[in-house]
Amino acid sequence: MVTSRVVLEILSPLPLIDRQDGREILELWKAYLPRLLPDKFGNWEPVDRPFDADNLSVALDNWKWPFLAERAQPKVNCGIWMRKNAKQLLHSTLIWEFYLPIVEQNELLVFLRTAAIALKADFACLHLLTASEIERGRANRTVTALDKKATQFNFFLASKDLKRRIPDIYWATIFGRPYLEMFGKERLLSTPAYQVDVFSEGIVLLQISEKLSEVADHPGTFRSARERAILHLGESAFFRSAAEAADDYRAPNFAFA
């Protein structure tokens, strides 16, 4: 049986390798999702070092690739893959997994928006991984099975994916400045969706439906709404199984700090 969970991912062009970068990220987590702070952290499995939210120094002493954190109840997993060095032309990747039942969607949206602005995100997403969404993710290779029986899965949208094409549109998707330039501000802001907002640093938040739960409760309606958004922005920018071999995609040029 597949356990539904919420995934939140941010891809930043910043290296995020400095101690101050770590402090900013942990302080954002502490400020916007205080009930979901980790109780353990580490740089490898098993994650077993106690996390003290009132004294971040110990965790920051270990701010290096990868920084892993987790919470037992409610269950939360986090992986942060900062760039290994400033010259590596890849996005820093931050992923949170929240297992249901979980916090209100508005808390996650505010955290997503605030963190994306702070980290100058090129792309970010918030999504509910249902069984059908997992199958869709396996097709575009952002979801992989962790066991032979395919009961446990890992979601990871990599920087190399964005360099080729966008794997998908999610319940909430953030497009940073490279996509604002590629699609055009007017086209992005006119995308048919429940809500489209533009924030500082040229960041656009596209929310497909009113409630995150609709991904599971009304999958057909959600899929139709997502396809309308993809068609509006242009299919050439998004994963299509027929285009994988030819690599016939449109992608922006990313500027890495």
* 3-state DSSP of 85-149: CCCCCCCEEEEEEEECCCCCHHHHHHHHHHHHHHCCCCEEEEEEECHHHHHHHHHCCCEEECCCC
| Backbone dihedral region for residue 71 (phi beyond 0: left; psi -120 to 50: alpha; all else: beta) | beta
CB distance 142 to 157 below 8 Å: yes
pLDDT for 112-169, tens place per residue?
Answer: 999 999 999 999 999 999 999 999 999 999 999 888 777 788 999 999 999 999 999 9
Closest CA to 111 of 202, 36, 35, 28: 28
pLDDT the model gives residue 174: 98
HSE toward the beta carbon, residue 137, CA cutoff 13 A: 20
In this prediction, residue 2 carries a pLDDT of 46
Residues in Cβ contact with 62 at an 8 Å cutoff, skipping those fewer than 6 apart: 41, 42, 43, 49
CA quadruple 121, 123, 125, 131: dihedral sign: negative
Q: Give the pLDDT of residue 148.
A: 76
| CA distance from start to end of the chain | 42
Q: Which pLDDT belongs to residue 3?
A: 55
Looking at the DSSP assignment, which residues form a beta bridge with residue 182? none
Low-confidence ranges of the chain (pLDDT < 70): 1-3
Whether 104 and 97 have beta carbons less than 8 Å apart is answered as: no
Task: Find, among 56, 186, 30, 196, the residue nearest to 115 by Cα.
Answer: 30
Q: Does residue 46 have a cis peptide bond before it, meaning omega lies within 30 degrees of 0?
A: yes
The type of residue at 174 is I
Q: Cβ-count burial of 84 within 10 angstroms (0-12 exposed, 13-18 middle, 19+ buried)?
A: middle
CA atoms of 197 and 110, how far apart (whole Å): 13
Q: Domain ranges in the chain?
A: 5-243
Rounded Cα–Cα distance for residues 257 and 255 (Å): 6
